[in-house]
Amino acid sequence: MEIIWKAKPLPNSEIVAKLSAEINVSEAIATILIQRGVDTFDKAKSFFRPQLSDLHDPFLLKDMDVAYTRIKKAVYHGEKMMVYGDYDVDGTTAVSIVYSYFVTLNSHIEYYIPDRYKEGYGISKMGIDYAKENNIGLIIALDCGIRSNDLIDYANSLGIDFIIGDHHLPGDTLPKAHAILNPKRRDCTYPYKELSGAGIGFKIVQAYSKKEGFSEEKILEYIDLVAVSIASDMVDMQGENRVLAYFGLKKLNENPSIGLQALIEVGPKKKTYSIQDIIFGIGPKINAAGRISDATAAVRVLIEKEYTTARQLTRVLNERNTERKELDNDITKNAVDMVVGTPGMAERKSIVIRGEAWHKGVIGIVASRMVEQFYKPTIVFSQNDGMLTGSARSVKNFDIHEAITECSQWVDQFGGHKYAAGLSIKAENFDAFSEQFESVVVRDIQEASLLPEVEYDLDISLQTLTPKFLDLINQMSPFGPGNPLPIFHSTELRSNNSPRVLKDRHLKLQVSQNNRHYFDGIGFGLAEHLPVVSNGEIFDACYCIEENDFNGQVKLQLRLKDLRKTV
C-alpha cells in the first residue's frame, strides 16, 4: 500500500533562531518545539519541567461543587455508595482510583464493572437494579453515562442519585443526573477538554481532598494509574494530561502502586518504563480481563495493597491476555479472508463485516488491524442472539462517530470518539446500516484520507543524530497524540551490511549516509522493502530515533517508518 510522506510546515526562521538562543538548543530542536506550540522561553520551561501546580482547580469543572456536596453527605452519613465504571483500562483505572480513595473514608462502598457480554457498554439496568437491591443511594459513574438518559431517569425513579464523570461527547440533551462532570459539555468552561475518564476520577478525589484540607500526598498515590489511563485511552498528551502523565510515569518508575508493580514485574524488565511500555505491555493485560471475562479481576489487582496477593491475581490477567492474543490472531485472519474473498468489497470506501459468535472482547483490536491493512473506516460486528455488537475504527481526518450518528435510525446504542466508537444494532438491520454507512463515507471522505500518511518533522542528515540530540528528544516525552515522537526524513541512504528479514515481517539493516555515520535500523512490518535496500541501492527513509540496549551495549538506532528508492 502506498504511504504518503508529508513534511510538517517549517516555522519562521527568526522565531526558530530566537528560541534556539533563549533555551540553548540547536535550531533543529527549536523547530520541533515550535511545531508543537512551544515557541517561547516560558512555554519551553513548562514543557520540559512540568509542575503539579500546573494542574487546574478541580472546582472549575461544571457541577464539581454539587458532586462534592453529595459525596460528602454520603461519606459523613455512612451511606452506601457504588463506583461504577467501564470495562476497559480507562474505566477500571478510574474505578480503582475513586474506590481506593473513598473506601478509607466510608467503608460502605463497593465497585461495579458491567459484564461486557451480559450488560454491554456503559450504564446498565442490571447495575442499577443491583444498586437498588443493595440499598445503594449514590452511584459515581466513571468513563461512561453521558448518553444514558433513559437509564438515569430509571435510577431517579428508584431514588438513586448518579454523579456522572465522563469524557465522551455528550448528546444534545444531558441526562438528569445529580451532577455531570464532563469538560466537553457545552456549558463547562474548564480550561482543558481532553481529560481521560480516570483523569475525571482523579479530579473528583482532588476536589474532595482540597475541600476537606487533606494532604496532597493522599491523591498523588493514584497518579500512576492516571498515566496508565492516559496512555491506554490514547487521549491528548498536551496541557494537563502532559502534567499528569509526566508525574504518573515518574511514580510508576520510582514507587508504583502495588497492583502496577505486580503487572510490571511479570513483563520484560526495563530500566525505565515509558508511555509505549504502558500501551503495549501493562494496558493489554488490564484490558484482557474485560475482553475475555470479568473486568472486576483488573480492579482487584489495581486496588490490592498486599504484593503477594497482587502477584497471584496478576496471573489471571496474564492468562486472559494470552487467550486474547490467540483470539485476536484467529479472528483477524477470518476477517481479512472475508474482505479479500467478498466480491465488490475492494471497491468500497468502508469495511463493515460481521462474524457469527466472534468474541466481542477482541473485535476492537481486529477493527484496528483491518485499518492497518486496508486503511478504510472499519466496523467489525460480532453476532449473538439476533444482535450485533460492533467496534468502529477510523482513518485520518474522518469522524466515524459522526458517520454512525447519521445512520442512527438503524442503531440501538452507540458512543465513542472521532476515531473510535462502539455500537449495537439488530441483525436484520445489518445490510441497511452497512449501505447507509458506506454512502456517508463515500460522500464525506477525502481521497487523501484513504491513504496512510507519515508526517515528518524535519529533513536532516545522519550527522545530526548524536547522543545529545537523542537526550533532548527524550526530554520531550511523554509522547502521544498532540505531542508525537518526532519523525525525521533523510535522503540518499545506503545499507552497508546485508539487510535481512526477521520473523518474515521485519526489516533489519545498517544505514549510512555518504559512507559515514553508521546506524542500525529496524523496520517493523517493512519486510516487503528488502529489494529497495539491497545490492547497494540508494534510498530515502522516514524514521524515529531511539536507544537500543542489547547485551549491555546501548546504541542509537533508527526505527524506520517507511522507505523508498531515491529518485
CATH code of 498's domain: 2.40.50.460
Q: What is the per-residue pLDDT across 184-235, written as a single tens digit (0 to 9) for each?
A: 999 999 999 999 999 999 999 999 999 999 998 899 999 999 999 999 988 9
Shared domain for 283 and 385, answered yes or no, is no
Q: What is the per-residue pLDDT across 553-567, written as a single tens digit (0 to 9) for each?
A: 778 999 999 999 998
DSSP, collapsed to helix, strand or coil, labels residue 187 as: coil
Assess if residue 44 is contained within a domain.
Answer: no
| Degrees to nearest 5, angle at CA 469 with 465 and 470 | 90
Whole-angstrom distance, CA of residue 444 vs CA of residue 403: 9
Shared domain for 390 and 480, answered yes or no, is no
Shared domain for 200 and 96, answered yes or no, is yes
Q: Are 109 and 100 in contact (CB under 8 A)?
A: no
Assess if residue 97 is contained within a domain.
Answer: yes
Whole-angstrom distance, CA of residue 499 vs CA of residue 502: 10
Q: Are 63 and 185 in contact (CB under 8 A)?
A: no
> Which contacts qualify for 32-36: CB closer than 8 Å, 24 or more apart?
32/457, 32/458, 32/473, 32/476, 32/486, 33/476, 35/8, 35/9, 35/11, 35/457, 36/238, 36/476, 36/482, 36/483
Q: Given 402, 419, 450, which residue is the final one in a domain? A: 450
Percent of the chain with pLDDT over 90: 78
Supply 283's cell numbers: 494496558
Least confident of 175-179, 242-246, 287-291: 287-291
Question: What pLDDT sits at residue 323?
Answer: 87
User: In one letter, which amino acid is 418?
Assistant: K
Question: What pLDDT sits at residue 266?
Answer: 83
The dihedral through the CA atoms of 321, 324, 330, 331 has a sign that is negative
DSSP, collapsed to helix, strand or coil, labels residue 82 as: strand
Supply 392's cell numbers: 468502529
* DSSP-H helix ranges across 296-399: 296-303, 307-341, 363-374
| Residue that wins the pLDDT comparison between 76 and 316 | 76
Whole-angstrom distance, CA of residue 422 vs CA of residue 14: 47
Q: Report whether pLDDT(304) > 80.
A: yes
Question: What pLDDT sits at residue 288?
Answer: 84
Supply 130's cell numbers: 443491583
Shared domain for 170 and 80, answered yes or no, is yes
Q: Given 399, 416, 450, which residue is the final one in a domain? A: 450
Q: Are 414 and 421 in contact (CB under 8 A)?
A: yes
Shared domain for 162 and 75, answered yes or no, is yes
Q: Report whether pLDDT(1) > 80.
A: no
Q: What is the per-residue pLDDT across 321-333, written as a single tens digit (0 to 9) for each?
A: 888 888 889 999 9
* 521 Ramachandran zone, left/alpha/beta (phi>0; psi -120 to 50): beta
Q: What is the per-residue pLDDT across 398-451, written as a single tens digit (0 to 9) for each?
A: 999 999 999 999 999 887 778 888 899 999 999 999 999 999 999 999 998 999
Assess if residue 26 is contained within a domain.
Answer: no
**Which residue(s) pair with 480 in the sheet?**
483
Question: What pLDDT sits at residue 190?
Answer: 98
Whole-angstrom distance, CA of residue 518 vs CA of residue 510: 7
Q: Report whether pLDDT(52) > 90.
A: yes
Nearest to 86 by CA among 286, 241, 263, 323: 286
Shared domain for 140 and 208, answered yes or no, is yes
pTM of the model: 0.90
Mean pLDDT of 266-277: 86
Q: Are 25 and 143 in contact (CB under 8 A)?
A: no
Q: Report whether pLDDT(120) > 90.
A: no
Percent of the chain with pLDDT over 70: 100
Confidence of residue 171 (pLDDT cuts 50, 70, 90): confident
CATH code of 189's domain: 3.90.1640.30
Question: What pLDDT sits at residue 347?
Answer: 92
Shared domain for 423 and 460, answered yes or no, is no
Supply 515's cell numbers: 559512507
Q: Report whether pLDDT(545) > 90.
A: yes
Shared domain for 407 and 468, answered yes or no, is no
Assess if residue 4 is contained within a domain.
Answer: no
**Strand pairing of 538-550 and 488-495?**
antiparallel
Question: What pLDDT sits at residue 420?
Answer: 87
**Residue 529: count of CB within 10 angstroms of its CB:** 21
| Degrees to nearest 5, angle at CA 355 with 229 and 328 | 40
Question: What pLDDT sits at residue 270?
Answer: 83
Assess if residue 50 is contained within a domain.
Answer: no
Question: What pLDDT sits at residue 531?
Answer: 92
| Residue that wins the pLDDT comparison between 505 and 182 | 182
In the chain, how many domains are there? 3
DSSP, collapsed to helix, strand or coil, labels residue 484 as: coil
Question: Which residue is it, cell 515522537?
Answer: 485
Q: Report CA Rg, the chain.
A: 25
Which residues, in sequence order, are CB contacts of 240 under 8 Å at separation 6+?
A: 54, 55, 56, 191, 192, 195, 199
Whole-angstrom distance, CA of residue 291 vs CA of residue 364: 10
Assess if residue 43 is contained within a domain.
Answer: no
Shared domain for 104 and 244, answered yes or no, is yes
Which residues, in sequence order, are CB contacts of 206 under 8 Å at separation 6+?
A: 55, 58, 219
Nearest to 102 by CA among 116, 82, 130, 121: 82
Q: What is the per-residue pLDDT across 97-116, written as a single tens digit (0 to 9) for each?
A: 999 999 999 999 999 999 88
Shared domain for 271 and 169, answered yes or no, is yes
Least confident of 45-54, 168-177, 316-325: 316-325
Shared domain for 498 and 424, answered yes or no, is no
Shared domain for 266 and 149, answered yes or no, is yes
Q: Given 415, 450, 485, which residue is the final one in a domain? A: 450
> Which contacts qualify for 532-535: CB closer than 8 Å, 24 or more apart?
532/563, 532/564, 532/565, 533/495, 533/499, 533/507, 533/509, 533/563, 534/495, 534/498, 534/499
Q: Report whether pLDDT(384) > 90.
A: no
Assess if residue 300 is contained within a domain.
Answer: yes
**Which residue(s) pair with 501 in the sheet?**
507
Question: What pLDDT sits at residue 213?
Answer: 95
Q: Are 102 and 71 in contact (CB under 8 A)?
A: yes
Question: What pLDDT sits at residue 547?
Answer: 87
Most distant pair of Cα atoms in the chain: their distance:
78
Assess if residue 122 is contained within a domain.
Answer: yes
| Residue range(s) defining the domain that contains residue 382 | 342-450
| Residue that wins the pLDDT comparison between 340 and 361 | 340
Strands (E), 349-419: 351-356, 378-384, 387-393, 411-416
